[in-house]
Amino acid sequence: MAEWWRGSVTYQVYPRSFQDDNGDGVGDLKGITRRLSHIADLGCDAVWLSPFFTSPMLDMGYDVSNYTDVDPVFGTLADFDALVRRAHDLGLKVIIDQVLNHCSDKHPFFAESRKDRTNPKADWFIWENPRHDGSPPNNWLSVFGGSAWMWDARRKQYYLHSFLPQQPDFNYRNPDVVDFMETVLRFWLDRGVDGFRFDTVNYFYKDALLRCDPADYRIKAEPEGNPYGMQYHLFSKNQPENLAWMERIRRVMDDYPGTSTVGEMGEMHHAIRMMGEYTSPGRLNQCYSFEMMGYDYSAAFFRSRISDFFAGAPKGWPMWAFSNHDVVRHVSRWAKHGASQDDLAKQAAALLLSFQGSICLWEGEEIGQTDTELALEELTDPQGINFWPEPIGRDNTRTPMVWDASPHGGFTTGTPWLPVKAPQLARNVASQTGVTGSVLEFYRAMLAFRKGSAALIAGSTTFFDLPEPLLAFTRVAAQETILCIFNLSPVPRSVTVAGVTAPAAVSCGAVLEGQSLTLGANGVAFLPVVGAFTLSV
């Protein structure tokens, strides 16, 4: 199907943490290949692989030193090809990360660029002279702390790095850079990948005049843990020229029918609007942001995010996710809203998988996994180390996948790169497989329910105006209408619903007696509707 991605469910794999097959404590491609059946059996449509390219690993692969090879810690290109073949045999599409805004300072292009101001790669990165007082060209900040400018004594200039100093940003105003990036995309498409997830998709172009970013218009009562959040990033990213690059990417993808793109919208001010802008016809197929990866767990919040997207971009397409490799796992973030971890994990699954759009699951959320408490000396993440103790770093969510209750959860026979601790070990795949009521079996049932429903895959959404903590909406497609009702709290709630018969088999904690529907703690009800119905509190 040409638009297989529309309404699809993608499973994100963090290669370092999924499965280690050679015993060195770091996950690898052979390990992922061996475990692909878990993703297929879960009922997902695609697997997204975070970076596995050659890298010094200062930012765990998001600092690429060779875009067309596999880092030895993960295996070889032959291992990657075998992974793609196995995934396709299982009916899974393969999406891989592309980190094209910046590279490693060990990349040969940057090594050449920093030699002098006249070499062939001199203008491939963003270099600028200091101000007369020696300070950086402007006030732009790095996401990872401090100025986004790093002094280089060889060129006697600053270079821009939106993230680590060892991650210089490419200069997309140089057409040779854009041409090179197209060759990278075609290299992997020719190897059989089904699409790309673009890291920091709104960062590629910067303001040509390098104007200073203003202060955030949302006044802060006190400094944030990371000062980056105190600026309104009008000029250091989000430039209109970026959209032309999205359109060029689309033209490349059109040469490979059946492929898809998804962009990571790293934006804290207008993310929903920009998701729509970036997925307008002729641009990316899908886009996700961090909007649903925060601490808000209210009906009003979820209703507004989905309504705002489709109101602003009726021809766009979102990808919704509750967790990924950069944020606290949602079972930990939203713990106070759940009667138990299992209840909250199952409700989150039902909620996410009923949303209009495509869905991305983060490895381990299907077993209700929680964040790992780590000491400072256990961290490897530069962001977590730089801002210790808050905001919480990213290692806490990246600890290894737990397959069974054996030492290190069956992830490795060696010493894992991050520890598998007792609370995480207690939540493993083996102990939940085939167990009625487990989080894992609920995910499988919910994914099968979604896959078998035209309304849940592609139907339109209409919300009801119910008081907190109740969220209700219909999904409608062709001849199918499903009423979805959620009690987003650990306290039972009741509603009156007329014109329906019984909840669907995957409903959780819901009892319908006559016209009274009782939703238990974190209760969920999916009600097939035929004809007219009414809903009230």
What amino acid positions are annotated as catalytic residues?
199, 264
Cα–Cα separations (whole angstroms), residue 63 to 57, 71, 79, 101, 372: 7, 12, 21, 10, 25
Cα–Cα separations (whole angstroms), residue 146 to 141, 160, 200, 426: 6, 12, 19, 39
d(CA 97, CA 80): 13
352: its two tokens: 């996410």
d(CA 415, CA 402): 14
Eight-class DSSP state of 38: H
Nearest to 164 by CA among 72, 101, 224: 101
Nearest to 197 by CA among 246, 245, 262: 262
Report the alpha-carbon angle 457-357-102, nearest 5.
Answer: 140
What residues have CB less than 8 Å from 134, skipping those under 6 apart? none
Say if CB 248 and CB 165 are below 8 A apart: no
Say if CB 158 and CB 165 are below 8 A apart: no
Residue 535's Cβ-side half-sphere holds a number of Cα atoms within 13 Å equal to: 23
Q: Is 169 helix (H, G, I), strand (E, B) or coil?
A: strand
285: its two tokens: 């197929």
Query: Position of tokens 């970076």?
Result: 51
Work out the widest C-alpha separation in the chain, in whole angstroms.
80
Cα–Cα separations (whole angstroms), residue 245 to 112, 124, 233, 251, 283: 25, 16, 20, 10, 9
Which strand (E) or helix (H) includes residue 511?
strand 508-513
d(CA 70, CA 51): 9
Which strand (E) or helix (H) includes residue 29?
helix 29-42
489: its two tokens: 């709290």
Nearest to 360 by CA among 93, 33, 99: 93
- Strands 260-265, 286-289: pairing kind: parallel
Q: Which amino acid is at 511?
A: V
